[in-house]
Amino acid sequence: MITSSPAFVVPVPLDKSYRLLNHGPTVLVSSAHQGRTNVMAAAWSCPLDFNPPKVTVVIDKATYTRELVEASGMFVLNLPTRAIAAQTLALGTESAKEVSNKLDKHQVKTFQASECEAPLVEGCAGWLVCKVVPEPHNQATYDLFIGEVIAAYADERVFSAGHWHFDGQPDALRTLHYVAGGQFYVTGESLQVAA
């Protein structure tokens, strides 16, 4: 349950939550533990299962996020929109280990869900609240974390009834796909193929 939130944020049924991530957007990983909070960008996140819904995300050992995820056993995947592309790049470039006021510096606004201490980032199009499925070998060898999605939310302007509908909405609400060197691709035109 959203306990304080911007407009347009609605719950997504868990059985449809994979569709938030299925098109391969870049994510912001947020985490918190005992009052310490961080948000970092990650391009390497992917659905892993439908039911119960699971995801994978790569979280480097050098990151502050890694400490918070391992300590709390939780993380949130936030799907940034074009409107916050510059923040997304900054959150993926700077480490909270070096820039301790990283979130304030980049004016990252957040809200809370009842399922976790980790904040949800405003300006995103979807949110997946995840509980770590402990896999010590994957975490140690590959920096690969598996999460079970325990709650999901979306901006109803672009996702409702289990489907994205970016077309006809402001381009600022489209999700992002990172390449490298500050270059993103924006999620483009919808293409319906007859089965």
> Could you list the residues that contact a copy of itself (CB under 8 A)?
19, 22-26, 43-49, 54, 56, 58, 82, 85-86, 88-89, 93, 135, 137-138, 142, 144, 146, 162-164, 166, 174, 176-195
Give the shortest CB-141-to-a copy of itself separation in angstroms: 9
Closer by beta carbon to a copy of itself, 33 or else 177:
177
CA dist 179 and 184 (Å) reads 6
Which element (helix H / strand E) includes 105? helix 102-105
CA dist 92 and 181 (Å) reads 11
Closer by beta carbon to a copy of itself, 10 or else 43:
43
Cα dihedral across residues 88, 59, 78, 175: positive or negative: positive
Residue 162 · residue 13 · CB < 8 Å: yes
Q: Determine the 3-state secondary structure of 83 from DSSP.
A: helix
Give the shortest CB-123-to-a copy of itself separation in angstroms: 14
Give the shortest CB-3-to-a copy of itself separation in angstroms: 29
Indicate the burial class of 176 (C-beta count within 10 angstroms; 0-12, 13-18, 19 or more). buried
Give the shortest CB-34-to-a copy of itself separation in angstroms: 30
Closer by beta carbon to a copy of itself, 46 or else 99:
46
Closer by beta carbon to a copy of itself, 70 or else 143:
143
Amino acid identity of residue 71, one-letter, is A
Q: Which of 120, 136, 143, 127 is nearest to 57 (CA)?
A: 143
Give the shortest CB-172-to-a copy of itself separation in angstroms: 11
Closer by beta carbon to a copy of itself, 4 or else 183:
183
